[in-house]
């Protein structure tokens, strides 16, 4: 089984090498402080498969030897060389939690920034709902001495695993916190000594039922805290594979006079007719993004800049 998986990954890797490089976008200057040295990963269209059941997906994979989406995630983050043989005991990570539960009502303790970052005066990026943290680690590894990265995650076990990975990587410009962002974001960023330059909210839990919308991470107090603490020129990047969730985030940020969507500042930015960015400007896809695109879903992205 391990041998087969290795063959699949090598097949993916060899196929992707020919497709990775592409000429830089004419709009790259507008996304200057989002840019990273490496190009975004690209995969053959044949790697994407849409089906009505997981059984059909598995059967198709077995017949055509296509990689599974976890294999593509591992390939996307292969540069990190992370160990997946972690001694964490029995780990069961819940996919969804209720942020309104009393167990998540205690604000996270503000860390000693001098202890968690080598230079706490660097511009800060905060990823709200950072998940496993691999997305943020990839960025931190490529931007040493340029920016600090703070990942906030409400599932403690994911934070614990990220901390183990981080110790192996030895990075001094990234930190993870177990925190309910709706409660803790404001006090954390206000205590940070450097400028808040970028905030990302990527594929948050949509909490579909109307009575559960109050559980969504993006509420008006959080929107206000983000905008108030961003430096002029600072940016907010949001995305979701659920249109309803993407529209909710878009509507809340569109109401803020101090924010302008990036395509209004630079018409050369590639967007569709409704203003959704056509590609991820960060240079790396999130894990959820990889899984969703593998299943044929569209990713709805918006990028705002503070005036």
Token pair of 203 as six digits: 């594929």
* DSSP three-state, residue 150: strand
User: Is residue 127 annotated as part of the catalytic site, yes or no?
Assistant: no
* DSSP three-state, residue 37: coil
Name which of 32, 42, 47 is nearest 281 in CA terms. 32
Contact 265, 305 (CB under 8 A): yes
Question: Which residue carries 């183990």 as its tokens?
Answer: 164
Choice among 71, 205, 241, 263 that is catalytic: 205
* DSSP three-state, residue 45: helix
For residues 105 and 179, what is the distance between their CA atoms, to the nearest angstrom?
9
Where would I find the H helices in the chain? 2-20, 54-64, 69-76, 113-116, 134-142, 156-169, 181-191, 220-229, 243-254, 262-265, 287-294
Query: CA separation (Å) from 223 to 187, 226, 227, 236, 245?
Result: 14, 5, 6, 10, 15
For residues 32 and 142, what is the distance between their CA atoms, to the nearest angstrom?
14
Mind telling me the catalytic residues? 205
């Amino acid at each position: 089984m391990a041998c087969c998986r290795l063959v699949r990954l090598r097949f993916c890797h060899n196929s992707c090498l020919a497709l990775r490089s592409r000429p830089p976008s004419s709009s790259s200057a507008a996304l200057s402080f989002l840019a990273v040295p490496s190009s975004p990963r690209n995969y053959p269209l044949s790697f994407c498969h849409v089906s009505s059941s997981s059984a059909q997906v598995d059967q198709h994979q077995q017949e055509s030897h296509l990689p599974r989406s976890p294999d593509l995630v591992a390939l996307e983050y292969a540069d990190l060389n992370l160990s997946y043989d972690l001694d964490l005991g029995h780990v069961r990570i819940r996919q969804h939690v209720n942020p309104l539960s009393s167990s998540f009502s205690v604000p996270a303790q503000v860390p000693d920034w001098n202890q968690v970052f080598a230079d706490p005066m660097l511009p800060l990026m905060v990823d709200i709902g950072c998940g496993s943290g691999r997305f943020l680690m990839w960025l931190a590894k490529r931007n040493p001495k340029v920016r600090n990265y703070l990942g906030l995650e409400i599932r403690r076990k994911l934070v614990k695993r990220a901390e183990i990975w981080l110790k192996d990587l030895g990075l001094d410009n990234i930190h993870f916190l177990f925190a309910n962002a709706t409660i803790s974001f404001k006090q954390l960023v206000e205590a940070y000594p450097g400028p808040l330059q970028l905030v990302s909210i990527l594929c948050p839990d949509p909490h579909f039922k109307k009575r559960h919308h109050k559980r969504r991470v993006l509420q008006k107090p959080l929107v206000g805290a983000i905008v108030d603490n961003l430096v002029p020129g600072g940016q907010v990047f949001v995305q979701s594979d659920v249109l309803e969730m993407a529209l909710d985030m878009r509507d809340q940020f569109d109401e803020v006079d101090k924010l302008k969507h990036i395509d209004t500042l630079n018409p050369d930015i590639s967007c569709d007719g409704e203003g959704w960015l056509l590609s991820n400007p960060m240079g790396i896809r999130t894990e959820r993004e990889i899984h969703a695109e593998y299943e044929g879903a569209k990713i709805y992205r918006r990028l705002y800049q503070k005036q």
